Amino acid sequence: MKNIPTEHHPLQPFLPDGARLLMLGSFPPERKRWSMEFFYPNWGNDMWRIWGYIFFGDKQHFELTEEKRFDRERIATFCTEQGIALYDTATEVRRLAGNASDKFLEVVTPTDLRSMLRQLPHCHTIVTTGEKATDTLVEQFGCAKPSVGEYTEVEAEGRTLRIYRMPSSSRAYPLKLERKAEAYERMLREIGMI
């Protein structure tokens, strides 16, 4: 494992003023898989299709379909307006296989989430978008691991936070996009964001 190089996170955290929800993945895929310079950049990942489906009734809302990429500016504007911050649970990793699978991702340096929360004073909910992200977060906060689609509560930075574990937006996760969107929509309703 020592021969495998470490990778540092290529993006800065996206922390808009007034953000109420912090969405955390594990780590971006290799750059060759990116369709834009932002979070969930892989054209084969359905995260932005899920949000388009929920808020606009159109899973292609954030797509530049003919270019096979997502519209970074439209997504960033949407996240700012909705109060959604974005980052990942690791700032440094090793890829143990030549793919984007979390299963082969070794977290070398976890993100300092408490420090990030201090920059997000209005944040009351953290959403993890996969198994590795959930495991890394739970380890840091020492809280119970929620079931998929459910939440646990934790005291951190002077507030009670809900930590939701959501279905992965990866197409490798065996659930239809519409069913994933239902889980995300239910969570958003529970926390009063829609």
Domains of the chain: 7-190 (3.40.470.10)
Q: What is the pLDDT of residue 129?
A: 94
How many Å apart are CA 105 and CA 45, to the nearest integer? 17
Which helix (H) or strand (E) segment is 113 a member of? helix 113-118
Q: What is the pLDDT of residue 99?
A: 66
How many Å apart are CA 166 and CA 185, to the nearest integer? 11
Backbone angles phi, psi at 75, to 5 degrees: -65, -45
- Cα-Cα-Cα-Cα torsion 180, 182, 188, 192, nearest 10 degrees, comes to -170
Q: What is the pLDDT of residue 103?
A: 80
Q: What is the mean pLDDT of each run of 10 residues along the chain (194 residues)?
A: 85 98 96 95 96 98 95 98 98 84 88 97 96 95 95 94 96 91 98 96
How many Å apart are CA 31 and CA 53, to the nearest integer? 26
Q: Which residues, 6 or more positions from 126, have their beta carbon under 8 angstroms from its beta carbon?
A: 21, 22, 23, 24, 113, 137, 161, 162, 163, 164
